Structure 1
Amino acid sequence: MIPFNNLGFIFKHFGSIIYSKDILEDLSLFLQDFKGCERILDIGAGTGVMSEFAYKCNDKLKLIALDPSKGMLKYAPLYLETHIATAEDLPFEAESFDAVLMGESLHHFQSPELAFKEVVRVLKKDARLFIYDFDPSTFLGNSIYMMEKLLGEPANFYEPYALKKILEAHGFCVNITHHKWRYTLSASL
Structure 2
Amino acid sequence: MIPFNYLGYFFKHFGSLIYPKEVLEELCIFLKPLSDEASVLDIGAGTGVMSEFAHRCNSKFRYVAVDPAEGMLKYMPEYVQTHLASAESLPFEDESFDVMLMGESLHHFKDPKVAIKEVVRVLKKDGKLFIYDFDLGTFRGKVICKMEKLLGEPGHFYEADALKKMLEEHGFSVNISKHKWRYTASAYL
TM-score when scaled to structure 1?
0.99
- Matched residues in 2 for 1:89 and 1:150: separation? 26
- Matched residues in 1 for 2:143 and 2:127: separation? 33
User: Structure 1 runs of 4+ off > 4 angstroms?
Assistant: none
- Matched residues in 2 for 1:33 and 1:158: separation? 28
- Matched residues in 2 for 1:83 and 1:26: separation? 27
Alignment correspondent of 2:74: 74
- Matched residues in 1 for 2:53 and 2:3: separation? 25
TM-score when scaled to structure 2?
0.99
CA offsets 1:68-122 (integer angstroms, 9 cap, x no match) = 0000000001110000000000000000000110000000000001001000000
Alignment correspondent of 1:99: 99
Q: How far does residue 180 in structure 1 lie from its aligned partner after superposition?
A: 0.7
Q: How far does residue 22 in structure 1 lie from its aligned partner after superposition?
A: 1.3
- Matched residues in 1 for 2:154 and 2:41: separation? 22
- Secondary structure of 1:119's aligned partner: helix
Q: How does 1:1-189 map to 2 (within 5 A)?
A: 1-189=1-189
| Aligned positions, number | 189
Measured on the aligned residues, the alpha-carbon RMSD in Å equals: 0.5
Q: How far does residue 137 in structure 1 lie from its aligned partner after superposition?
A: 1.1
- Matched residues in 1 for 2:24 and 2:140: separation? 20
- Matched residues in 2 for 1:65 and 1:123: separation? 14
CA offsets 1:133-159 (integer angstroms, 9 cap, x no match) = 000111111111010010000000010
Q: Which runs of 5+ in 1 are unaligned?
A: none
- Matched residues in 1 for 2:124 and 2:65: separation? 18
Q: Which runs of 5+ in 2 are unaligned?
A: none
Q: How far does residue 34 in structure 1 lie from its aligned partner after superposition?
A: 1.4
